[in-house]
Amino acid sequence: MEKDVMIVTGAGQIGMAIARRMGYGKKIILGDKSSENAQAAAKVMNDAGFDVQPVELDLSSRDSILDLIAEAEKEGEITMLVNAAGVSPSQAPIEAILKVDLYGTAVLLEEVGKVIAQGGVGVTISSQSGHRMPQLSPQEDEQLACTPTEELLSLELLQPGNIRDTLHAYQLAKRCNEKRVMAEAVKWGERGARINSISPGIIVTPLAIDEFNGPRGDFYKNMFAKCPAGRPGTADEVANVAELLMGGKGAFITGADFLIDGGATASYFYGPLKPRES
Ligand SMILES: NC(=O)c1ccc[n+]([C@@H]2O[C@H](COP(=O)([O-])OP(=O)(O)OC[C@H]3O[C@@H](n4cnc5c(N)ncnc54)[C@H](O)[C@@H]3O)[C@@H](O)[C@H]2O)c1
């Protein structure tokens, strides 16, 4: 018997927490650039009664994304998408951050949006970083939202001279994710499907641990110590939001972004984390 199919990209902590919460009874096609990560996560899940097929995926490649979707379609109708693959500012250079987090996410939303089942639902993991960057102009926001995917990386605001460092590239990529979700929600809606993004703050995962040990380690540790929650979050808390967005209680939510950061962004603008003029 064919099962409904859930595509999950990123065999990391956040992707797996959402897959465990929403994927029971579905065929889960799990794509990751590291087949080791995908296979290890699939084993843990399959040993717990899930049905996970690991697939090698490079989110920065349209061909690789199309292969992943073709693999999923062999199994049945694609009813869910969870995009939790990505690289952080301490893990990759500017070019790779833009190619994976910005371009790859845009292509994935576009391509899955062409085949998602009626009533289907997706979430993509953005970041609080997209909220912390100063506002862009309405024209720049519209460019990030609507520029055809193959032209995105040629936009003036994404050219090397206009990007300060890897954190700035990450912020732009995550802002783009949120804008892309808004534009895609209109297209997904034509198929009776919904798509939203979740913007986590610091969530303890290997990616965050790389940040704690990277050049901005003290900045991040200070951020969760001084935010209203006073601690980092967990992948299971991100899955709580995904459960709302992907389930029936989220039926009226699409094209939206949900910030889950323990109040760090609030504190960055109006509290103890506010950058002081030196
Ligand atoms: N952990 C945090 O504090 C945090 C905060 C905000 C946003 N995020 C976002 O959450 C998402 C998931 O991160 P996580 O914390 O679960 O990290 P993680 O390191 O646990 O997992 C990320 C996974 O993505 C995979 N990956 C990297 N590049 C890829 C590519 N080109 N194609 C396919 N797979 C690739 C990695 O191999 C890894 O398995 C990322 O988009 C990240 O930016 C994380």
Give me ligand 1 centre to Cα 234, in Å: 14
- The pLDDT score that the predictor gives to residue 277 is 64
**5-61 confidence digits (pLDDT tens):** 999 999 999 999 999 999 999 999 999 999 999 999 999 999 999 999 999 999 999
Please name the residue whose Cα sits nearest to atom 43 of ligand 1: 86
- The pLDDT score that the predictor gives to residue 84 is 98
Give me ligand 1 centre to Cα 14, in Å: 8
Give me ligand 1 centre to Cα 1, in Å: 33
Instruction: Please tell me which residue in 170, 179, 220, 268 is annotated as part of the active site.
Output: 170
In the chain, what are the domains?
5-267 (3.40.50.720)
Say yes or no: CB of residue 12 within 6 Å of ligand 1. Answer: yes
Residues 97, 173: Cα–Cα separation, whole Å: 7
Say yes or no: CB of residue 14 within 6 Å of ligand 1. Answer: yes
- The pLDDT score that the predictor gives to residue 61 is 98
170 is catalytic: yes
Say yes or no: CB of residue 68 within 6 Å of ligand 1. Answer: no
Residue 266: alpha-carbon gap to chain centroid: 21
* pTM recorded for the entire structure: 0.97
Please name the residue whose Cα sits nearest to atom 17 of ligand 1: 207
Residue ranges for the chain with pLDDT beneath 70? 1, 277-278
- The pLDDT score that the predictor gives to residue 1 is 67
Say yes or no: CB of residue 149 within 6 Å of ligand 1. Answer: no
268 is catalytic: no
| Torsion sign over Cα 98, 195, 190, 64 | positive
Say yes or no: CB of residue 23 within 6 Å of ligand 1. Answer: no
Strands (E), 189-231: 194-200
Instruction: Please tell me which residue in 26, 33, 174, 179 is annotated as part of the active site.
Output: 174
